[in-house]
Structure 1
Amino acid sequence: MGSAIATDGALHPVLWPDGAPAVPLTAPAGSIDSAAQVINDTGELAGMAATEEIPSLPLRWSVAGEVSEMKTLGGAFSLVQDMNASGVAVGTSATEQGTTHAVRWHTDGSVTDLGTLRTDESSTAFGINDDGVIVGQSGPGDLTGRAVRWDTDGTVRELSLPPGTVSAAAHAINGAGVIVGESTSKKSDDSDFPDPDGHAVRWNTNGTATILRTLGGAHATAQDINDSGVTVGSAQHSDGTVRAVRWTADGTPTDLGLLPGDVKSRAYAINDAGVIVGESITADEELHAVLWHPDGTMIELNGTAADTSPSQ
C-alpha cells in the first residue's frame, strides 16, 4: 500500500496486491492528497488525507475498501504509524494547543491520548504488537527524546540508552516484546539519518540495548522486526552509500541492494513470512516503491522484476 501521483498531480491511495500492479483505493470526498500508510494481517489499512482545511487527517480502510475518518486530539495534523491484527492503530495527533501526542485509535475510530513521559512536551507512537503493547518516543518539542513503551494499561516506561548516546526512538515491537529503533549521540540535519552517529538498536526482552552492526559505515537505523527476530532498516557502507538492510536474529546484516541506476535504498517493514517493503531512490531523489522476497529478489511495485545486486 502507499500512494501514487495521478495525472492531476495529486497523491492517491493505492494497494499493490502481492506485488501486482497498483489498485486504487477510495479517497474521502473533498481530499486533495491521500495515502495508505499501514496494513495489518487481515487486510485493513490506515493512512491520511489532506483537505483545504486540514493538512493530515487520519483514515481507515476496511477489508472491503470502505474508507472512514478517525478522530483526532483537536489539532490539524495526525499521522498513523502502525496497526495490529486487531485493527488498533497508533501514531501521533496534534492537540488544540499545537503539541503532538502519541495516540491509539480504536477499531471504531475513537482516539486515546497516550500522554508523555514525565513532564515531556511531545510524544509519538511508532509501533504496536498484537498484544497491544506500543512503542515510540517522548521528549521536548523537537522530539529528540527517549525511547518508550506503553503497556496495555497505559503505563509509559523509558527504555535504556546504549552507552554514549543521548536520545533514542523505538520504531517497532514484535510478538515476543523485542523492540528495535535508533539511538543518537547528537542532533544533525543529515538528510539520510537524523544523527551522524546514529545507531540501529535492538532492545531485548530483559531491557538490555544492543547496537546492530552497520555495513561498514557510521550510520544505521532499524525500522521493523518480525516475530522471528529479523530486523530491517538502512545502513551505510564505508564509502557512505546508504542501502536497505536485513539483520538476522543474531544481528548479522545483509545489503538488500537497489534498483539499477539508483543510488540508495531503505527498508521500512517486514512481515512474518520474511517479505520486506521499502524504497529505492535515484540521484534526483525520485522514489520507487519496492518489495524484497525472502530469497532477496527485488520487485519494483509496478510488477517488474529487477536485478538488484548489492554491488550496483
Structure 2
Amino acid sequence: MRRLSFALSAALLSTLVVTAPAHAETTIIRLDGLAEATSTKVMSINDSGLAVGSSIVGGVTRAVKFDAGRVTELVGPDGASVSLTAVNNHGAAVGNSSVRGISDNAIRFNPDGSYVVLGIPSGSTFTTAVGIDDNGITYGVAHGSGHSIPVSWRPNGVLTAMKLPAGATDGTVVSASPNGYGAGFVSGPGLNKVAVRWNPDRSVTVLPRLAEGAWSRATAVNRNGDVVGSADLAGGGEPYALRWNADGSMNMYGQLDEPTGVNDHGIAVGYGWADGQWRPFRWTRDDLKLDLGLLAPAPSIEKLAINNDGVIVGSVWGKAYKWIVS
C-alpha cells in the first residue's frame, strides 16, 4: 500500500490509497429475469441473500425479487411500471412506480407481497424511494419545481422531512442502513454539494470535503455509520472515491472509482475504469482493491451492493449478476 500526500483539511486524519488492483478469485452467476425480459437489474441484497430489482418485459418495468435461484414478480398497481431499489432484512422492499410515464411515486412492498403507494408532501410533484431499514422506515426524496428534500415514511405511512444542515435548502438521500443511518448530499445558495450522513437520532453530520468548497457526495452507509462516496479535489482532475469512517478518519480509494455499497465490515463495492472499460471492484477494510471480473465487456455498470456475508450483486449493461468471492 502506498500513501499519497495532499494539502488537505486538518479534519482528514488519515488518507490511504491502494496499490494497483488485484484480481480476486470469484464465482460469477447470471441472475435471470422474468421470461421474455429484454433487460434485468438487481439493486439490493439483504443478509439472508434475498435480492431485488426489476425486469423490462414488453416495454413495461416489473418489480422482481431473486431468492434461492428463483425470480418472482412483485405485482404493483394495475398498468404501472415498478422498479425496486432496496430490501431490508425482513424481506420488505421499496422502489418506485409510474403509470404511462406519469411522475414516479415511492412504493413499499410488504414481505407478504402486498404493497402501499407512499404519500407525496405538499409542494412536491413526485417521490422516489431509495432505502428501507429493519424497523420498516422508508427513505427517499420528494421532488418539485427544481427543489428536492430528503424524506422518510414510517411503517404507518406518516411522512417526515429529514433535517438539513445550516445553509442547505436541497438534499438527496441515496442509501440507508438497517439501523437508520442515511447517506447522501445537500446543497444551497453559496453551498456547493457536500456529502452528509443522517443519524438514527435524526441529526445530520456534514462529512469533510477534500478541499474548501469542493463538491462531495455520499452513496452508501453501513450500520456503524461508515459512509462511502466520492469527492472532488480542488484544481481539477477526476474525483476520488472515499470512505468516511465513523471515527472521523477517511480512506481514499482511486480516481475514476465509484463505490456504491458498503457492508458492516467496512468492505465496499462499486466500479471503476481500468483496462479501457468499466469494471466491478471490491475494496477491503484495509483498502485492497480487488477486480471482481466480468463475463463480458461492460459499456456501463449501474450499481453494486454487498451484504454482510460478502455476497455481491450488481447491474451490468442491462443484466443482473451475483459475485461470490472465495
Q: Which residue does the alignment assign to 1:310?
A: none
Q: TM-score, normalised by structure 2?
A: 0.75
Which residue of structure 1 lines up, in the alignment, with residue 279 of structure 2? Answer: 288
Amino acid at match of 1:34: T
Which residue of 170, 173, 176 corresponds with 1:173? 176
> Residue 118 of structure 2 aligns to a residue in which SS?
strand
C-alpha contact (below 8 Å) 1:228/1:249 kept by paired residues: yes
Alignment gaps of 5+ in structure 2: 1-23, 295-326
Q: Which residue of 1 aligns with 2:298?
A: none
Q: Which residue of 1 aligns with 2:13?
A: none
SS in 1 for 2:40: strand
5+ residue gaps in structure 1?
1-17, 187-194, 258-262, 304-312
1:58 aligned residue: 63
Residue 271 (structure 2) aligns with: 279
**CA shift at 1:78, angstroms?**
2.7
- Residue in 1 that maps onto 2:222: 226
User: In structure 2, what is the equivalent of residue 160 of structure 1?
Assistant: 163
For 1:198, what is the secondary structure of its paired residue? strand
**Residue 119 (structure 1) shift:** 4.2
Q: Does 1:200 align with 2:195?
A: yes
**Higher RCO (CA < 8 A, seq sep 6+):** 2
- RMSD over aligned Cα, in angstroms? 2.5
Once the two structures are superposed, the pairs formed by residues 1-312 of structure 1 within 5 Å of their partners are: 20-54=26-60, 56-62=61-67, 64-74=68-78, 76-95=80-99, 98-140=102-144, 144-185=147-188, 197-216=192-211, 218-240=214-236, 241-257=238-254, 263-281=255-273, 286-302=277-293
Give distance in 2, aligned partners of 1:75 and 1:269. 32
Residue 215 of structure 1 and its aligned partner are, at CA, apart by 2.4
The share of aligned pairs that are identical, in percent, is 28
Contact 1:121–1:139, Cα closer than 8 Å, also in 2: yes
Residues 279 and 293, structure 2, Cα contact 8 Å, conserved in 1: no
TM-score by length of 1: 0.78
Counterparts of 1:287 and 1:196, CA distance in 2: 32
What SS does the corresponding residue of 1:131 show, helix, strand or coil?
coil
1:51 Cα offset (Å): 2.3
**Once the two structures are superposed, what CA deviation does each residue of 1:207-244 show, in whole Å capped at 9, x if it has no partner?**
33221112237111112211111111111122332122
